[in-house]
């Protein structure tokens, strides 16, 4: 059975903040409390030390997932803040190297994403990052806003109608072919 609904619906928001270090991304997210939204930071970069805000120190990707799954931790908070997803991507890469073997027939020790062979490590990183987006979606469904903070980089943008140009983008995995791009997935996840 389906029910038709009309009118404006309110739901939790997906927000991505990115910019250079020290510009005030964490401060902006912490200021949500001034409009009645109490944020809880998953402080991967230890960037909130000078802010009067609630935080959980995070040291690994397992910590990120465990904190996001701990329902009692989030009681009374209206927003999840990942500070930063750039640091989280590095933790994901480390997690992949420790937990995903090279292949069925190889006992090769993985020390770097590149050790998997052409593009395979980046695929593993991308697929593991999808778990993070699923965890964050669970908070959206629970009515909590999600703010994802990223460092920035300069990226070349192909322009089929003229000259290519450069722009600032979140500093995340983004192969030129667009495949396995955590950056593109994040932008799509938050609604472009």
One DSSP character per residue, 22-66 reads: TSSHHHHHHGGGGGT--EEEEESS---TTS-SEEEE--SHHHHHH
**The predicted structure's pLDDT at residue 156:** 86
Enter the pTM of the model.
Answer: 0.87
Residue 16 near residue 170 (C-beta atoms within 8 A)? yes
Instruction: Report whether pLDDT(38) > 80.
Output: yes
pLDDT tier at 5 (50, 70, 90 boundaries)? confident
Buried-state track 47-61, b at ≥16 Cβ within 10 A, e below 16: bbeebebbbeebeeb
**The predicted structure's pLDDT at residue 107:** 66
**The predicted structure's pLDDT at residue 192:** 59
Q: Which residue has the higher pLDDT, 52 or 9?
A: 52
**The predicted structure's pLDDT at residue 105:** 57
pLDDT digits (tens, 9 = 90+) for 48-58: 999 999 999 99
Read off the pLDDT of each residue in 142-167 and give the average, rounded to a whole number. 92
- Number of Cβ within 10 Å of residue 30's Cβ equals 22
pLDDT digits (tens, 9 = 90+) for 62-115: 999 999 999 999 999 999 999 999 999 999 999 998 888 777 656 677 888 877
C-alpha–C-alpha distance, residues 112 and 96, integer Å = 9
**The predicted structure's pLDDT at residue 152:** 93
Residue 130 near residue 139 (C-beta atoms within 8 A)? no
- Number of Cβ within 10 Å of residue 103's Cβ equals 11
pLDDT tier at 2 (50, 70, 90 boundaries)? very high
């Amino acid at each position: 059975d389906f029910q038709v609904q009309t009118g404006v619906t309110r739901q939790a928001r997906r927000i991505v903040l990115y910019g250079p270090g020290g510009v005030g991304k964490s401060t902006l997210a912490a200021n949500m409390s001034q409009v009645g939204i109490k944020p809880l930071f998953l402080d991967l970069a230890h960037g909130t030390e000078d802010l009067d805000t609630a935080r959980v120190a995070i040291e690994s990707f397992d910590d990120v997932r465990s904190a996001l799954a701990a329902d009692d931790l989030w009681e009374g908070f209206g927003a999840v803040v990942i500070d930063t997803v750039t640091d989280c991507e590095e933790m994901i890469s480390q997690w992949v190297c420790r937990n995903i073997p090279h292949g069925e027939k190889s006992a090769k020790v993985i020390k770097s994403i590149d050790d998997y062979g052409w593009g395979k490590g980046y695929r593993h990183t991308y697929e593991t990052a999808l778990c993070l987006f699923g965890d964050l979606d669970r908070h959206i469904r629970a009515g909590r806003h999600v703010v994802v903070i990223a460092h920035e980089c300069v990226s070349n943008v192909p322009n089929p109608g003229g000259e290519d140009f450069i722009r600032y983008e979140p500093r995340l995995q983004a192969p030129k072919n667009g495949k396995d791009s955590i950056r593109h997935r994040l932008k799509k996840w938050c609604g472009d």
